[in-house]
Structure 1
């Protein structure tokens, strides 16, 4: 039984001061205790009591154990543990001011951890500006998500201009995904994943030991889109495939002053490798050219190379053989597109089997054929005709045989051939060596 009482102060009579003193009379108050009611009840050790009625108490849902507080649990595992089943939020922080509704802070661990069979942490922003979930860390991870089979971090933007997951970093990685066997970062939406990095950092960084570092999937737009004002829009580096693109139409699309730039890490490796047909809707400029095939006589052990035939003109070559008639003449037909494609024809004739000093072109190209005469009846003649292209594209894109280097003056396509350093190379490779001065292998490994 508990007795509820209150204390009242009643004054007592003042006592006279002692003799021969100047002390003033003092007033002493007496304390009187009056009982006004009785409360009954019982509880469990460690449970915080509460009023269960006007004059009774009992257990509340709050417990204290080992300096830990539990709500809905008798043996809390954390300083504050809330446990139960509810359709509404278990913990709700509502701040009508400018501060945080719920804030978690830690000097060495995680500020806030969310764990669930579905969504670990969910943030909803109802305003026109703001963030559903926002994480900030001076030197570590702003938002960290981990899952065994689901999504570590999932962002969903329903608006036309929203971003599902946005990562921004002044020096490190805006968004980093790591997966031992699955998808490190997966984005699906208008902007599946958008990352912005400043001061040398990465907008989006993905790392996977066996799976996909960064995977972009889009139904009608870009699976992965990278844009940079001064650096690299999308940079891929790996012991295997640095950047891999696969699609029903275009695996990789690149656009810029240089759409795609590729450089080998060493002189013996390959900047670009294509395992199928290659189409170039423009001029192909190269230092040399050849074909490479398995050697016909030893295909298992050797390759065979042949060089291209070069010309300062956009020249086509046609050749064949023809047999002269009883007059020692022959008409050589050409394809029906020949005159529409070519102009400025050149002829070569060679008699086969016997000399033919009088062999000549009796009639130049007319209506896509020319005439040979001056040989012996039945003689076989080898012929060759060349023409300069004058189709629409060739007329608008004539090859400039000699060209001033302009802004590339002092740089070289092949600096080693002129005893110049690699920093004098034309293009991004030369800039890397000129700015950073290591070899290209070190540049690649430092990225």
Structure 2
């Protein structure tokens, strides 16, 4: 506990704080007193200081917390502030009530009657009527308001030809005509003979109008043609136009169907008939042309089978003319990395991607990623029950191989002659010699030179089986040299030639392509089915 002197000094300090509070509040006045204020402080007796604090704070060290109340009176009222600027003008008030009606003026004197005139003729009466503000005029200048002559309807001078009507009349008397659009109401029967057309529509070539417009919002056919001849025949003489155009934003554009109701009754059935036939009689044209403009990709022509249980071929290309030397099917790509022909089979189901029955010629490189079967033939021992399959030898170098048997002479030497083109085709020869029937050594005494090499055996008159392998050096081999290890392209990186062998799904295959979607051909109903 602090001593008495320290306590008195604290009391004096409290009094001083109270006095300062009173001075700040201003001199005492008659106004109401300011509400009392509770103050808190920590007293340090050693340093003789007083530190203000809060109600809930704790004093440090040996300091003691004290509290007191400061109470003062309200200060005097300050001077009034300056007047503010004028506000915006208010909105106009409502209109006042109408004033009282004024008194009626006095009637003027009646004028004297003039002398009687002679009767007006019909021409005079008409002239007065047409005179503006003249004696007896029927036209009032004030009423007309000074309108020019162009403001009055003049005599109608225009006419419309037969089959049209007056749409509007201009102030100068000219007219605007409009052709009568005849409305046809069903049912309509147009009879014709063997030579005349039942209906002819003539449309000017420069008008841009259509000869026949059918706007049908219902499910039935817009145009239905049934005939023993051609149902629809379109002709155009412009290379920029088409004889028949179909356009659709959702459904199939053109669907052709041969229902087989009649051809199935014939012996040959429907052979030779096509649901859609494209024929080109001009030189250099196409019988059927399909193209895609979608930048995301698409299919120009799609042939499908299996729909509605069908089991036919999805597509067929056939040369029916034995004297035609041209290709039956051509696949060409102009892309840098594109594939001219891509054939894919369902490997999981054991399907075969492609089968060639006949000779096959490849002009260019041949790359095989799967098992290479050199040939597959009927097993001669049991041709009706088994087949034989052989695979070619695989190496990372393009080589040629020649082999044969030779017998050495009395001196144990033999000369082997290779084909005359062998040294032009290959070099860097590798040799293999095997003596037959006699133990002994066999060596190459002289390597290939001028199309020959010499064998020498330990014993004379020894039969030797020989085999030589040469590395190709012809221009094609140099141009298309094999690089055993290559880095996959950016598009193929992360994919596999055989993903299943590495535990990966088929979608990770390099040659994987999206399967074409099946158009809803079965959902298209022809008019006869509705």
- TM-score, reference length from structure 2: 0.51
Distance 2:519 2:390 in 1: 35
Determine if the alignment matches structure 1 residue 254 to structure 2 residue 331: yes
Taking the TM superposition and a 5 Å limit, the aligned residue runs for 1:291-440 are: 291-357=375-441, 359-407=442-490, 408-429=492-513, 432=514
Find the counterpart in structure 1 of residue 251 from structure 2: 172
Instruction: Answer with 401-410 or 215-224: which moved more.
Output: 215-224
Q: CA deviation at 1:91?
A: 2.8
Q: 1:92 to 1:313 in 2, by over 3 A?
A: same
Distance 1:308 1:114 in 2: 62
Match of 1:269 among 351, 362, 371: 351
Determine if the alignment matches structure 1 residue 241 to structure 2 residue 281: no
Q: CA deviation at 1:320?
A: 0.7
Distance 1:307 1:115 in 2: 61
Bigger Rg over Cα: 2
Q: 1:105 to 1:217 in 2, by over 3 A?
A: closer
Determine if the alignment matches structure 1 residue 85 to structure 2 residue 193: yes
Distance 1:253 1:304 in 2: 33
Contact 1:180 1:211 in 2 (8 A): no
Question: Which one has the bigger helix percentage?
Answer: 2
Please give the per-residue CA displacement for 1:334-393, whole angstroms capped at 9, x wherever unaligned: 111111111221111111111222x11111111111111134322111111111222221
Distance 2:519 2:219 in 1: 32
Distance 2:511 2:385 in 1: 36
Match of 2:372 among 283, 289, 292: 289
Q: 1:391 to 1:427 in 2, by over 3 A?
A: same
Contact 1:350 1:382 in 2 (8 A): yes
Find the counterpart in structure 1 of residue 292 from structure 2: 228
Contact 1:324 1:375 in 2 (8 A): no
Distance 1:422 1:283 in 2: 26
Distance 1:446 1:174 in 2: 12
Q: 1:424 to 1:391 in 2, by over 3 A?
A: same
Distance 1:416 1:443 in 2: 25
3-state DSSP of counterpart to 2:423: helix
Match of 1:280 among 340, 362, 384: 362
Distance 2:200 2:275 in 1: 36
Please give the per-residue CA displacement for 1:13-49, whole angstroms capped at 9, x wherever unaligned: xxxxxxxxxxxxxxxxxxxxxxxxxxxxxxxxxxxxx
- TM-score, reference length from structure 1: 0.60
Distance 1:364 1:164 in 2: 74
Determine if the alignment matches structure 1 residue 109 to structure 2 residue 220: yes
Question: Which one has the bigger strand percentage?
Answer: 1
Contact 2:257 2:276 in 1 (8 A): no
3-state DSSP of counterpart to 2:478: helix
Q: CA deviation at 1:258?
A: 0.9
Give me the CA root mean square deviation.
3.2
Name the count of aligned residue pairs.
Answer: 304
3-state DSSP of counterpart to 2:303: coil
Instruction: Answer with 394-403 or 79-88: which moved more.
Output: 79-88
3-state DSSP of counterpart to 1:423: helix
Contact 1:181 1:211 in 2 (8 A): no
Contact 1:363 1:372 in 2 (8 A): yes
Q: CA deviation at 1:165?
A: 3.9
Distance 1:328 1:446 in 2: 80
Unaligned runs of 5+ in 1: 1-76, 119-150, 183-207, 433-439
3-state DSSP of counterpart to 1:330: strand
Distance 1:226 1:105 in 2: 28
